[in-house]
């Protein structure tokens, strides 16, 4: 069942990447609902209550897709920065001076706001690209990570945990970048009517 969840995630990501800009509100809702349900299923928390809550939140995202697109853009940006900070400083982050920790929190929380403001005209294309890539990357990471365990790498220490998580993270990051590029290099060219969402207004 675990690998079925991973396959559903990958197929969802492919569908979001291809149809997301055409049906943005629906895509926004599905980009949350399906990965959330699959993730809950992977960790054994998929039940009637969690399904109803997830569907309710998905309905809210569908209705208020525009404001949620900015929230999602901020979340993804902060998530990517946080993962880089963890991978770079994770092994000794608790030993860092408090001032350095404050700077790292600033690096994670503030730049995404600037990024969203600068690229606000591109938010839809970026969100669909990142969401589709995230879903594909999460599915692939779900398939690869158990193989890392089988290879004998354990999470008994922070050092080995960072090593084990490096490959899945890079895979997810590459998938998200690929998702954004797909929107600009393929979707925008195949569907000229959608180019307005990927072009900065003059």
How many residues are listed for the chain in this entry? 202
> What does the pLDDT read at residue 135?
94
> What does the pLDDT read at residue 3?
87
The tokens describing 57, both together, are 């939140």
CA dist 185 → 3, 88, 129, 181, 190 (Å)? 30, 31, 11, 6, 9
- pLDDT tens by residue, 141-158: 888 877 665 655 555 555
Given pLDDT bands bounded at 50, 70 and 90, which one contains residue 56?
Answer: very high
Q: Is the pLDDT higher at 114 or at 161? A: 114
Evaluate whether 6 touches 143 at the Cβ level (below 8 Å): yes
CA dist 170 → 12, 37, 120, 197 (Å)? 20, 23, 26, 28
Evaluate whether 194 touches 22 at the Cβ level (below 8 Å): yes
CA dist 90 → 20, 56, 95, 142, 169 (Å)? 35, 35, 10, 22, 14
**Alpha helices by DSSP H, the chain:** 2-19, 24-42, 48-63, 65-89, 98-109, 111-118, 123-150, 158-182, 188-190
DSSP 196: G
Q: Which of 51, 41, 45 is nearest to 5 (CA)?
A: 41
pTM: 0.80
């Amino acid at each position: 069942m675990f690998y079925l969840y991973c396959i559903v995630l990958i197929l969802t990501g492919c569908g979001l990447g291809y149809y997301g800009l055409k049906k943005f509100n629906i895509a926004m809702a599905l980009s949350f609902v399906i990965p959330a349900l699959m993730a809950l299923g992977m960790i054994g928390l998929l039940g009637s209550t969690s399904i109803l809550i997830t569907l309710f939140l998905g309905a809210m995202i569908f209705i208020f897709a525009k404001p949620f697109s900015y929230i999602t853009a901020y979340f993804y940006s902060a998530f990517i920065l946080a993962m880089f900070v963890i991978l770079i400083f994770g092994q000794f982050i608790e030993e860092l001076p408090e001032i350095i920790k404050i700077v790292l929190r600033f690096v994670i929380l503030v730049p995404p706001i600037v990024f969203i403001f600068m690229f606000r005209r591109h938010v839809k294309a970026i969100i669909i690209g990142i969401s589709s890539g995230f879903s594909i990357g999460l599915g692939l990471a779900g398939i690869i990570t158990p193989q890392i365990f089988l290879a004998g790498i354990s999470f008994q220490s922070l050092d080995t945990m960072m090593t084990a998580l490096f490959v899945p993270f890079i895979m997810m990051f590459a998938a998200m970048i690929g998702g954004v590029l797909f929107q600009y290099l393929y979707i925008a060219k195949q569907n000229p009517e959608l180019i307005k969402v990927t072009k900065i207004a003059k």
